[in-house]
Amino acid sequence: MTVSTSLDSRAGVEPRKNVTRLIVATSIGNALEWYDISVYAYFAVYVSKAFFPNNDPTTSLLLTFGTFGLSFLIRPIGGIMLGAYADRHGRKASLMVSIMLMTAGTLALALMPTYDRIGILAPIGVLLARLVQGFSAGGEFGSSTAFLVEHMPERRGFVASWQFASQGLSGLLGAGFGALLTSWMSPADLQSWGWRLPFLFGVLIGPVGIYIRNHIDDATPPPAGERTSPVSEVLLRQKLPVLLAIGALAVSTAVNYLIVYMPTYVVKTLNLPPSVGFTASLAAQTAVMLLAPIAGLVSDKIGRTTHMIAFGILLLVSIFPAFLLLTGRPTPGIILLDVLWLGILKAPYYGPLAALMSELFPPATRATGLGLSYNIGVTAFGGMGPAIMTWLGGFAAIGELAPGYYLTAVAVLSLAALVTTRRMKLA
């Protein structure tokens, strides 16, 4: 049974002519949040040399991705704090805080002096900037998803799908910068200063997102009562919805960060030019951006779990053969087709996911529940994913197939969560 209250009904009266403006305003901010995060991962090879120099390239990369993963550990805290703030004071207030913090963190990272100039202060500064970004991104998903579904509850799948379509756009921009810069600039210039350009672009977009969000109307009153603690409600009474939301999210976020990890995998494991990985990621992110809204629309008609279980099974049976093909014939064409195929399968799974997760929580704790479950899932199966795959790749018995083993295990977990949700009729 889908959780719904009179709040959702009141919020649904928002005129349809305003829906597009709301989607655009929310999606722009969400795209910026995820653009800043994905750029760090896409340019990990260059960041590792600038801030984490080491005689062993693998150790340097592990330090870089370790920092990437550590910044995700603060995300559940951001999700709880900014989610509770949204449940108490309104969605718009929380959205403004998250985008301003993300812009500040990105500016710090773009201007950070390298290890050669300030020594150990450089990696410490990078870690602090990433922690600010992680805290900000932690609060973004819960507040923006709640904002969208409460303005158009009868089409939750469609409006919430723009959460992930906008993430596809952010990945598209990040991969596009990678493909452009690796083709246009010399390796020396790219390592020296070129890698900063995508971060500076994110800083320039920040004020635009702040302006747009400041001029949207938060038509829904804060749903939590004055004496209600959204955090305690979620932690004490809604543990099962949190676990199911984490499980449903696991495979989609793991595939997403595999796509982000691909440029590093192509260089480090397959010994191919970085432009190959960027082009493959570019194609996959385009598929996510275009197909996720269509999938969300379909899920409004046939149901979330029916739709997602079907594509979850397709992902499960496709992942390992895709990596067997990729490692057996690591040509640019095969890499492009493999990653694009994973992107095409991920997008239909991704589309209804935000709506499914929102339906597991009542409005009074929705932003908090979404923020907590989403960020635990992304931290465990996404943020630590590149580091885990890099580590697994060091074992001779696994080697190049590390991403295939990792994603297959995560796909099984997600399917189990979806089947449980369906049988218990929770969403």
Residue position matching structure tokens 């305690």: 232
pLDDT score, position 208: 78
H-run or E-run covering 289: helix 274-302
399: left (phi over 0), alpha (psi -120 to 50) or beta: left
User: Terminus-to-terminus CA distance in the chain, angstroms?
Assistant: 6
Identity of the highest mean pLDDT range in 159-168, 345-354, 397-406: 345-354
Higher confidence at residue 58 or residue 115? Answer: 115
Query: Sorting pLDDT into bands at 50, 70 and 90, what band is 244?
Result: very high
Confidence bin at 416 (pLDDT 50/70/90): very high
Mean pLDDT of 342-357: 90
Asked whether residue 72 is assigned to any structural domain, the reply reads: yes
Environment class of 197 (CB within 10 Å of its CB; exposed 0-12, middle 13-18, buried 19+): middle
Distance CA 64, CA 47 (A): 7
pTM above 0.85, yes or no: no
pLDDT of residue 24 exceeding 60: yes
Burial class from Cβ neighbours inside 10 Å (0-12, 13-18, 19+) for residue 7 reads: middle
Query: Mean per-residue pLDDT for 272-291?
Result: 83
Q: What band does 2 get if pLDDT is binned at 50, 70 and 90?
A: very low
Q: Quick check: 108 pLDDT over 80?
A: yes
User: What pLDDT is recorded for position 27?
Assistant: 76
Write down the residue that tokens 């959205």 correspond to: 95
Assess if residue 223 is contained within a domain. no
Letter string b/e over residues 92-109, b meaning 16 or more CB atoms within 10 A of that residue's CB: bebbbbbbbbbbbbbbbb
What values do phi and psi take at 98, rounded to 5? Answer: -65, -40
In a domain? residue 222: no
Q: What is the pLDDT of residue 358?
A: 92
The phi-psi region of residue 372 (left if phi > 0; otherwise alpha if psi is between -120 and 50; otherwise beta) is alpha
pLDDT at 46: 80
Which of 81-95, 244-258, 291-305: highest mean pLDDT? Answer: 291-305
Domain-located, residue 225? no
Average pLDDT over residues 391-398: 66
Q: Residue 1 falls within a domain, yes or no?
A: no
Please say if the pLDDT value at position 58 is more than 70. no
CATH of the domain at 132: 1.20.1250.20
Q: What's the average model confidence in pLDDT over 113-121?
A: 85
pLDDT recorded at residue 69: 67
User: Across all residues in the chain, what is the average pLDDT?
Assistant: 80
pLDDT band at 224 (very low <50, low <70, confident <90, very high): low
Please tell me the least confidently modeled range out of 268-277, 335-344, 367-376. Answer: 268-277
**Percent of the chain scoring above 70 in pLDDT:** 85
Torsion on CA atoms 28, 174, 191, 187, rounded to nearest 10: -140
Q: Please tell me the distance from the alpha carbon of residue 276 to that of residue 331, in angstroms, as a whole number.
A: 9
- State the average pLDDT over residues 229-246: 88
In this model, does residue 384 exceed pLDDT 80? no
Q: Which two tokens stand for residue 226?
A: 């004055």
Residue type, 314: L
Does 177 reside within a domain? yes
408, pLDDT greater than 60: yes
pLDDT of the residue at 170: 80
- Determine the structural domain holding residue 30 and report its residue range: 6-217+230-424
Overall domain count for the chain: 1
- Please tell me the predicted confidence (pLDDT) of residue 135: 87
239 occurs within a structural domain: yes
Q: Is residue 401 part of a domain?
A: yes
Among left, alpha and beta (phi > 0; psi -120 to 50; other), residue 271 is left
**pLDDT: which is higher, 395 or 111:** 111
Residue 331 CA, distance from chain mean position: 28
For residue range 141-160, what is the model confidence (pLDDT) as tens digits? 888 888 888 878 888 899 88
Taking the C-alpha atoms of residue 28 and residue 23, their distance in angstroms, rounded to an integer, is 8
Count of alpha carbons within 13 angstroms of residue 181, beta-carbon side: 25
Give me the count of residues in the chain: 427
Q: Which pLDDT tens digit goes with each residue over 260-275?
A: 677 777 777 778 887 7
High-pLDDT (> 90) share of the chain, %:
16
The answer to whether residues 104 and 133 touch, using CB atoms and an 8 Å cutoff, is no
